[in-house]
Structure 1
Amino acid sequence: MAAAAQTVLPSVSGSRLLRRFVLWLLVLVCCLGLALLVWRWTENAAIDKLRLAGAQRLDSYAVSLENLLSKYDFLPGTLELNKDVIALLQQPDDELLRAEVNAHLEQLNKLSKSTTIYIVNLQGLTQASSNWREPDSFVGDNVAFRPYVRDALRRTPGGFYGVGTTRGEPGYFFAHGIYHNGRMLGVATVKVNIEKLEKGWVQGTDKVMLTDAHGVVFLSSVPDWKYHALAPLEPAVLQELEVSRQYFSHALLPLGLRELRQLDNGASIVATPAPAERTRMLSQTRSLSPRKWQFVYLSDLAPAEASARNAFLFTWLSEALLVMLVLYARQRRRLGRQRQRARLDLQRAYDHLETMVAERTASLQQMTHNLSEENVVRRHAEQKLRQAQSDLVQAGKMAVLGQMSAGITHELNQPLTALRTMSDNARVLIERGRLDEAKGNLATISQLIARMGALTGQLRQFARKADASLKPVPVAAAITAALFLVERRVEQERVNFRMSMQSQDVHALCDSNRLEQVLVNLFTNALDAMDGCETRQLTVSVTRSFQKAMIAVSDTGPGIPEAIRNHLFEPFFTTKPQGQGLGLGLAISEQIIREFGGMLLVESTTAGGARFIIELPIAEPETT
């Protein structure tokens, strides 16, 4: 029956642990899923807000552009009302008449604040211009290749944005036919500079572009983006632009915007072009009819992404706080039940106090009259005492491990991070067929796993309970194992470690696990004593004197005063600040060494600092 209970209980315990693990895993997955949903919802809400603001800005920019262009739309048509203009087109060789028309166009250009006004005959030759005084005057130029001139000659009012072939100045061209008695005599053209609109566009992280029907950017809040195409242009389009010389000498290279995700209503998430740092932005467009232009507004998504991250972290922390509150409430209920049981037990003990006293008295009388039973009780008490001493030693070891937890965590986190990176790289390399490089990654992963196994194995060996048997232990191996547990702290605090041994085959009669605990305690105390010292040196020396193995641990700290030295091995005596030690480390260490038949001594060094000396009986190494 007892054997059956022993086989059933571990199974029940394992099943309970499995259910608890699955429950916590489900809680973790649900919390993470909720945090991700909050992330996505916050990001979408921020993007919707950006889209609304971007649409309002696009409407504003479109209205401003239309208002500017509408101011000059009528101007070319008014020139056919001027008799001198009609006369010049009918008498192109009259230079005096040409001078009068030039002066009129110059005055009209100043009043309207346009860029240039000029008159073209039916052959596309410029007869008069407002810039007739300039060295690069348009007078005499042939502009028949320009689309706006061709449209006007076909009796269709022309509108065209392009870069001037004479001065290289960009502008918008209005063209209107000049008629007399129903017959076309020429074309009136007004050039207007619309680049001044760029000054009113945003200058922060958001960006604005205005493109033509082919996707060529001709106005932008980013000067380097002008005269670039949103997408590579077809050869036929490039040929058409070359013939019309719309952008003159500009190469019209692709801008390099990369679409990352398509949204509804024509919006999308894009990445800005190099060489600047690529930034994720929200792209919105607004078409301008009938010119076939398109405004493109790019809103920086960094604030939206920051809001989403903050919402994710806040949700995650809130969920963690809620879980902690649930655990706290559960623990309180458990403690309440325990207190209730304790009160019931106390009441029951009080109710039966007289019976218990009588039973105890009878037991004592029986023990008094029976020496053998007294010896059994005494041996039982001694066993309990040894067990308590062993538990105290184990508690000291666990306290040391707790103090070293930060360094141990760092030692494990570095290989874990490297394992994740190398395994991801190995998967990519295998997919690409680069097997030799993948083998190298796997070899590195194996080394990292071996390193982590060595660390956890050493910790497991240190944490296990030691038995009471004594056997020959190599002193050098025990020192190396103890140093391994504090090696991270020695490196972080830049402590110089020195070790000297007369012989490598010195063996002491003791228990290796408990000797390592004593050494770790001495190393830790030495490192604590040297905190803040300019010179930090930890020295371990091993000598052999008669039948004793002498292990000396020295530091360069402030030393130990005589008054403190007398109380150093007393339980609960400590010189560390409150909360940093219980004063049990040296007391436990001194007791362990005494059980080995040795001694733990302390003395001050002439150069400052303290030296702890472990004296252990010499033992001959075991032979196999």
Structure 2
Amino acid sequence: MDSNNSPLYWRQRMEQPSNHKLLAWGVVLLACVAIVWQVYFWTERLAIGKLQASGAQRLEVYVSSLENALEKYDFLPKTLELNRDVIRLLQQPEDPQLIDAVNHYLEQMNDQAKSSTIFISNLDGNTRAASNWRQPDSFIGDNIAFRPYAQDALRGTPGRFYGVGTTRLEPGYFFAHGIYQNGRMLGLATVKVNLESLEKRWVQGADKVMLADEHGVIFLSSMPDWKYKTLAPLAPDVLALLNRTRQYYSKELAPIPFLSDRQWGNGARVISVREQERFDAPQKITSSVMTQIKLKSPRGWTFIYLSDISQARASARSAAAFSCVLLGFFMLLFFYLRQRRAAVAQKLRARVDLQHAYDNLETMVEERTSELNAMTQSLSQEIEVRSKAEQKLHITQNELFQAGKMAVLGQMSASITHELNQPLTALRTMSDNAVILLERGRLDDARRNLGKISDIAARMGAITGQLKVFARKSTTSLTSVSIPTAISNALFLVERRLQVENVRFTLHLPPDDIFAMCESNRLEQVLVNLYANALDAMNGSEVRSLRVEVEARDGLVLIHVADTGPGLADEVLERLFEPFFTTKPQGLGLGLGLAISEQITRQFGGVLRASNAPGGGAIFTIELQMATQEEKHV
């Protein structure tokens, strides 16, 4: 047989590592990454270019809106010199009648023009009349000579200026024009227009648009956080100029903290900034393309439009993902062809492996069968052992519950003996009296005496009957149990101790009978144990009070048993429900009562909790599932 055609030859050849193949695959991977990056880059540039064009179109609309809003006020200051009272006021500035007449005229003009304020100043810049003369912060008496719009108007050119008012701190655009008579300037007429209405419309819209002055200070913005911020740090001479003219008065003019800022084509910029929409919302980083249009007038303002580029980047990611899918398709095609080429070698390897598996198959089957048989036998034995253990545990638990009952009865033996001894003594005495009364013929007295003997016997029967019910073994079925009845039955067993130890007992029940899913006899066992523990805890207390309260809440029945004892220490609370843990002196308790009570409550599907009351003492709470009177299940 030719060695080149043997299965061993092909197997060794397939397992030989090839550094050239690894290098080739590395080059292919890098080429794929480069292609995907180029697709992402060019798609992003095209999408951002579309956003830039759309932003420029939107800016044209905003530019037209601003120019229309300003043009209708451009003529207004010049028309004021047509009023003779205005001319006379500047010639006779101290005439009160002229001042009053001009104030009323300016007030009327301001209302008709819907401007913010109209005022008249003399050549020294002192305001002589104003439309807001009625208001406490009227412009009358203010000096505006330091304002650029006043200086321009005094030089004979129309004054145009945007700034924050120094009197009312209200921003606005000022139109100023000289008032002339016979070619001689007498004073200035100024109209202040509030541009905030434009800004309010911007805020209500979805666009992000801003207006910046020639220094890069944003004074109108649809984003309140950017208002009175600067696009770049201001030079010292610019800051000095703004402080001298008080254009923005007390505003900080801090630069916007751009995380990144790079130039794009056609004067656009791509920026990233950290912003926070609400005070309780986490900060987020947004990236936008900033499209700008610089206005020729007034004063070289710049309109700015921000377009969110997240959609553009999403489109770029989608294109990159599509290119990945396309490249993946070609790679799969390549692997498919390559797989077909390796089919012959794979068949040879499979033939060798199949022969080897066939040779060892029977041995493996026998070993596995033996292991499974051993495992099955072990599992059967373990299931049988566990079943017996569960039966023993169930029997032991029932015996433990019964032992707990007997322990409670043993602790109450003294009071039970006293309860039975008293009526027995009374029966003996009254039976002797009955004999004497019959001998003397006092039949009515004898009849009453016999009636009392019957009542005492009935009471003794009730005591022994209740003890018999309490002592019998409980069933495992859960039924709908009346909680007030269970509380009353358990209370009957400790009633004598309450009287002897002078303990005040209070019971708070809902107005209607209330039922819970449990087993009545075992619930009474838990209640008797809690009553007895509460009475033991109050030994030596000045105030002895046992309070039981029942409430229904959210489908649950809560039974609270509270005492006025010393309460529970932290280390006791941690181990309270551990078996054989007790705080009683040796010989007075086994430490099983609360452990058994907690286990019984858990078998009911409930919870037994312990805590300290705010006013002192301990509170034990039994939490059970609420039920109707008819419910029952095993």
For residues 386 and 236 of structure 1, the distance between their equivalents in structure 2, rounded to whole angstroms, comes to: 91
Matched, 1:603 2:604: no
Matched, 1:297 2:308: no
SS of the equivalent of 2:163 reads strand
CA deviations on 1:402-446 (whole Å, 9 max, x unpaired) are xxxxxxxxxxxxxxxxxxxxxxxxxxxxxxxxxxxxxxxxxxxxx
1:385–1:33: structure 2 CA closer, same or farther, 3 Å change rule?
closer
Alpha-carbon contact 1:590-1:600 (below 8 Å) kept: no
Paired residue for 2:252?
Answer: 251
1:590–1:126: structure 2 CA closer, same or farther, 3 Å change rule?
same
1:388–1:143: structure 2 CA closer, same or farther, 3 Å change rule?
same
Matched, 1:324 2:326: no
**Displacement, 1:194?**
0.8
Matched, 1:314 2:314: no
CA deviations on 1:278-320 (whole Å, 9 max, x unpaired) are 2121112111123121112221111111111122122212321
CA deviations on 1:371-421 (whole Å, 9 max, x unpaired) are xxxxxxxxxxxxx98763448999xxxxxxxxxxxxxxxxxxxxxxxxxxx
Paired residue for 2:262?
Answer: 261
For residues 316 and 337 of structure 1, the distance between their equivalents in structure 2, rounded to whole angstroms, comes to: 31
Matched, 1:388 2:358: yes
CA deviations on 1:173-203 (whole Å, 9 max, x unpaired) are 0000111101000011000011211233266
Alpha-carbon contact 1:117-1:190 (below 8 Å) kept: yes
Query: Within 5 A, what are the aligned runs for 1:18-37?
Result: 18-37=19-38
Alpha-carbon contact 1:54-1:299 (below 8 Å) kept: yes
Query: Within 5 A, what are the aligned runs for 1:513-532?
Result: none
Aligned residue pair count: 374
Paired residue for 1:53?
Answer: 54
Paired residue for 2:286?
Answer: 279
**Displacement, 1:255?**
2.1
**Displacement, 1:29?**
2.8
Alpha-carbon contact 1:206-1:300 (below 8 Å) kept: no
Q: TM-score, normalised on structure 1? A: 0.54
- In structure 2, runs of 5+ residues without a counterpart are 277-282, 349-353, 387-634
For residues 293 and 227 of structure 2, the distance between their equivalents in structure 1, rounded to whole angstroms, comes to: 18
Paired residue for 1:237?
Answer: 238
SS of the equivalent of 2:285 reads coil
**Displacement, 1:325?**
3.4
**Displacement, 1:225?**
1.5
**Displacement, 1:31?**
2.5
**Displacement, 1:158?**
0.5
Give the root-mean-square deviation of aligned CA atoms. 3.9
| Aligned residue identity for 2:37 | L
For residues 334 and 132 of structure 1, the distance between their equivalents in structure 2, rounded to whole angstroms, comes to: 98
SS of the equivalent of 1:139 reads coil
CA deviations on 1:68-108 (whole Å, 9 max, x unpaired) are 00110111111111111111111111111111111111111
| Aligned residue identity for 2:248 | Y
Query: Within 5 A, what are the aligned runs for 1:211-230?
Result: 211-230=212-231
Paired residue for 2:191?
Answer: 190
Paired residue for 1:41?
Answer: 42
| Aligned residue identity for 2:358 | A
Paired residue for 2:177?
Answer: 176
For residues 48 and 321 of structure 2, the distance between their equivalents in structure 1, rounded to whole angstroms, comes to: 19
For residues 285 and 187 of structure 2, the distance between their equivalents in structure 1, rounded to whole angstroms, comes to: 51
Residues 289-298 or 99-108, more deviating: 289-298
Alpha-carbon contact 1:259-1:268 (below 8 Å) kept: no
| Aligned residue identity for 2:159 | G
Paired residue for 2:77?
Answer: 76
Alpha-carbon contact 1:207-1:299 (below 8 Å) kept: yes
Alpha-carbon contact 1:205-1:299 (below 8 Å) kept: no
Alpha-carbon contact 1:148-1:173 (below 8 Å) kept: yes
Paired residue for 1:485?
Answer: none
| Aligned residue identity for 2:379 | E
Matched, 1:159 2:166: no
Alpha-carbon contact 1:39-1:308 (below 8 Å) kept: yes
**Displacement, 1:609?**
11
**Bigger CA radius of gyration:** 2
1:19–1:601: structure 2 CA closer, same or farther, 3 Å change rule?
farther
CA deviations on 1:571-620 (whole Å, 9 max, x unpaired) are 6xxxxxxxxxxxxxxx66347999xxx9996532545899xxxxxxxxxx
For residues 229 and 337 of structure 1, the distance between their equivalents in structure 2, rounded to whole angstroms, comes to: 72
Paired residue for 1:430?
Answer: none
SS of the equivalent of 2:74 reads coil
Query: Within 5 A, what are the aligned runs for 1:565-580?
Result: none
Q: TM-score, normalised on structure 2? A: 0.53
| Aligned residue identity for 2:267 | G
For residues 264 and 30 of structure 1, the distance between their equivalents in structure 2, rounded to whole angstroms, comes to: 29
Alpha-carbon contact 2:203-2:223 (below 8 Å) kept: no
**Displacement, 1:157?**
0.6
1:4–1:307: structure 2 CA closer, same or farther, 3 Å change rule?
closer
Alpha-carbon contact 2:80-2:86 (below 8 Å) kept: yes
1:150–1:260: structure 2 CA closer, same or farther, 3 Å change rule?
closer
For residues 48 and 385 of structure 1, the distance between their equivalents in structure 2, rounded to whole angstroms, comes to: 66
1:3–1:267: structure 2 CA closer, same or farther, 3 Å change rule?
same
| Aligned residue identity for 2:322 | F
Alpha-carbon contact 2:275-2:286 (below 8 Å) kept: no
Paired residue for 2:582?
Answer: none
Paired residue for 2:520?
Answer: none
Paired residue for 1:368?
Answer: none
| Aligned residue identity for 1:164 | G
CA deviations on 1:252-278 (whole Å, 9 max, x unpaired) are 122212433221222121112456422
1:188–1:393: structure 2 CA closer, same or farther, 3 Å change rule?
farther
**Displacement, 1:5?**
12
Matched, 1:117 2:124: no
Alpha-carbon contact 1:267-1:285 (below 8 Å) kept: yes
Paired residue for 2:96?
Answer: 95
1:261–1:203: structure 2 CA closer, same or farther, 3 Å change rule?
farther
| Aligned residue identity for 2:323 | T
Residues 259-268 or 79-88, more deviating: 259-268
Query: Within 5 A, what are the aligned runs for 1:489-528?
Result: none
| Aligned residue identity for 1:71 | K
Alpha-carbon contact 2:59-2:293 (below 8 Å) kept: yes
SS of the equivalent of 2:112 reads helix
Alpha-carbon contact 1:42-1:311 (below 8 Å) kept: yes
SS of the equivalent of 1:314 reads helix
Paired residue for 1:526?
Answer: none
- In structure 1, runs of 5+ residues without a counterpart are 342-383, 395-570, 572-586, 611-624
Alpha-carbon contact 1:205-1:300 (below 8 Å) kept: no
Alpha-carbon contact 1:286-1:296 (below 8 Å) kept: yes
CA deviations on 1:103-160 (whole Å, 9 max, x unpaired) are 1111111111000111110010111111111111111211111111111011111100
For residues 166 and 224 of structure 1, the distance between their equivalents in structure 2, rounded to whole angstroms, comes to: 24
For residues 79 and 203 of structure 1, the distance between their equivalents in structure 2, rounded to whole angstroms, comes to: 36
CA deviations on 1:212-271 (whole Å, 9 max, x unpaired) are 111111111111221122222222222221121111111212221243322122212111
SS of the equivalent of 2:180 reads strand
SS of the equivalent of 2:333 reads helix
For residues 312 and 605 of structure 1, the distance between their equivalents in structure 2, rounded to whole angstroms, comes to: 62
**Displacement, 1:16?**
8.8
Alpha-carbon contact 1:209-1:219 (below 8 Å) kept: yes
Paired residue for 1:131?
Answer: 132
